[in-house]
A and B are shown apart, each in its own frame.
Chain A
């Protein structure tokens, strides 16, 4: 059972996508899991055969508990039986060893408090930057896989999550300064930046200001490229004052509207009710939109960046349509992902993880 997000303590199996005995490749969807906050599919971390399913449908399993066994076909059945027995015993006893999630902390940058979560340890450092109205938890399916052998930070931008809510004039500069300030405060000299939506424009702006610090850029449905945007979504998100008003807008974020759970909408409303958030969202809205058109033009900023750029976009993105990716064609590898909307890092996290890994490798390759 994976740890998706800082507060997850257990998940419920809702459907085994793969049957016992079937061959699986790394990255295949294995099982659907429901948590309090989100529903998602766990992807296979290895290739092999799904030899045994341990946790059954509707079972609640604590994070870290073994739910299935994948092994090469050649492993003897008796070994599988023994491992399964131990795994089942551990689940039944309720004493699953606690899995530590990301380490959280805050840092003062430019008079503002920034909250962050760090997972993993390795030579390469990755920084994940969320989009408008999001927070560091939106990387919950991506941070863990990436953290194998890498140091992966996720921050809350000013106005968001647990960071201070003051956003100054709400300009791209303020946000880019926050990112660069975080890196300086943590002594990170070289980083792979990953940004989603508004966060995409932010990391481009940050990279343009300090190109020597940025080893690669992975842009996930970034703002600032192309001329299409669903202004109604952005305005509706900012203005919604109840879960009922917010939910129809949230559905536009996903290819699969069932991703919009009550808990997701409720958590967003709790965020929106915090002192200062409304002002922050309104200020940022002015940065994002000029009337009904996008106000950010990040293309000239990207020209200043030498590092490899990888772009991931959901084909069914309703907020920033995938047609915007054409504006990046000359400068980046663009991966269009099926069965994904604007929140591609939540609906098809494997594709985003692969893109980031690709960017890191391209940077290592010195291209």
Chain B
């Protein structure tokens, strides 16, 4: 049964939690905006897919997770990485292909991972994540850790067979898995309203025997609420949930995408819907946080991102000696 969660005032987040949430979203935003700028100079190799605009989703979900829990991500993975606690400087170095990067320069933007933090990696294959999360959720169940697995995927991946099979398997095996469909309106250059046969991705949940919920992706608190309910259900052995997060991405499918297929939704979103703006408005209007505290975070984050870029640009490249290492554990 699909329903839309009305936004409610923040529940269960104390001052520290709110500051963390803001900091996380701000880091993601500044990270992505900076990568956008740097990419335009030609310094960053390969493809990058930016999460700017979507911060509330990764942040709201990951605020409910701990080290027992795993997430799988997509090619648009920087936000999930940051929200799950992957080191920001190592991420930036990885994007620049440096040996100090999260993956020693061998993965790049689309494959940043930190298995020690339960971050199974950004994934270059659309729909590659959900089956893996069925696995990590199965492991959590077998090992009795109380942990859950969260599969982030896009509206494009929501049509991929791997995703649909995973929804079914998670229900059949009653896995502690949460499927978060981040519907930003486009799969590459194709509108999700066209490619998704149902009215909402969340409508598919019933077809797979699990609850489905639609959430305003620009609203951190709405995501936090929905994620909390789903994660609690999973931890209690109540099985999987499908959450559809609706929002928009501020940039193209990849950097370099001219986005001629789009209307003017980005400008509107930045102006009136932006998750950081709305968060700031809510917490300051309700008196939970002082604006100055948020400003301070803005400054710290700016410094962090600047340092990350400077250090990344100065970091050494991997060498020929690194080319053939780490294909296998044992040779």
Direct contact of A and B (CB under 8 A): no
Binding site for A on B (CB under 8 A): none
